[in-house]
């Protein structure tokens, strides 16, 4: 259990250090251009990963509660995997997903109580007047923006013809990145992770049980 726990704590530390630094040093909407296609852009969202929204106050509360329940399930699953000595790489993937999910929950659950609003000033930690929102109603901090390719859809292109396009458009954070890496590795190595287990289950299913010995 030590290695997955170390991964989770390391991801959370990196994620929160980046978020707190950006939130307390940038105005909302501020940018720092590393290159033309690698930009630190401070934004916040009320919803899901990569800046997607889940509307309204009720939607925000529902999403926060759903996240907590889902993360509790993932955490229990991670604990069971380590106890069963499952594939180490698979355990690392689940740890990455778990850590990323927890990282965004921290924003959603606590940032509203811990920071002032970033709307018209640089956010302050533990302001005297209180935070900008209540428990479970905080905003998730995003900052990584990679508009690697910019251009226009050709006029003949369905639906989006002549419109601008940017790849990669969403602004995300380190927690989102951690989740994405974990999911991507699972997809790439799914045969390794799941075929052995399926074969073992099949063998168990077709192995005849020992017949009881009848003593005359």
Residue 110 phi, psi (nearest 5)? -115, -25
Residue 152 phi, psi (nearest 5)? -130, 140
Q: Is 164 a catalytic residue?
A: no
99, 8 Cβ separation under 8 angstroms = yes
Strands 140-145 and 38-45: antiparallel
**Residue among 128, 123, 127 at smallest CA distance from 141:** 123
* Alpha-carbon distance values, 160 to 16, 151, 157, 209 (Å): 37, 12, 6, 61
- Active-site annotation holder among 117, 164, 176, 201: 176
Q: What is the CA radius of gyration of the chain?
A: 23
In which element (H, E) is residue 1 found?
none
What is the spatial distance between Cα 167 and Cα 174, in angstroms, rounded to a whole number?
18
- Active-site annotation holder among 15, 87, 142, 201: 142
Q: Is 142 a catalytic residue?
A: yes
In which element (H, E) is residue 35 found?
strand 31-35
The catalytic residues are 142, 176
């Amino acid at each position: 259990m030590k290695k997955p726990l170390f991964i989770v704590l390391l991801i959370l530390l990196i994620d929160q250090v980046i978020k707190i630094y950006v939130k307390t040093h940038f105005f909302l909407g501020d940018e720092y251009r590393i290159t033309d296609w690698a930009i630190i852009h401070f934004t916040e969202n009320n919803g899901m990963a990569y800046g997607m929204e889940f509307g309204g106050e009720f939607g925000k509360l529902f999403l926060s509660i759903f996240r907590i329940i889902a993360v509790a399930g993932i955490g229990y699953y991670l604990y069971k995997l380590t106890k069963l000595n499952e594939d180490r790489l698979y355990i690392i993937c689940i740890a990455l997903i778990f850590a990323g999910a927890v990282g965004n929950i921290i924003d959603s659950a606590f940032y509203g109580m811990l920071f002032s609003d970033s709307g018209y000033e640089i956010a302050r930690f533990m302001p005297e007047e209180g935070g900008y929102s209540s428990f479970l109603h905080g905003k998730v901090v995003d900052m990584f923006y990679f508009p690697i390719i910019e251009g226009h859809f050709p006029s003949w292109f369905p639906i989006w013809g002549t419109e601008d396009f940017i790849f990669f458009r969403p602004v995300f954070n380190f927690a989102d990145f951690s989740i994405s890496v974990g999911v991507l590795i699972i997809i790439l190595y799914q045969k390794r992770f799941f075929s052995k287990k399926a074969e073992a289950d099949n063998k168990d299913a077709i192995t005849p049980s020992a017949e009881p010995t009848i003593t005359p």
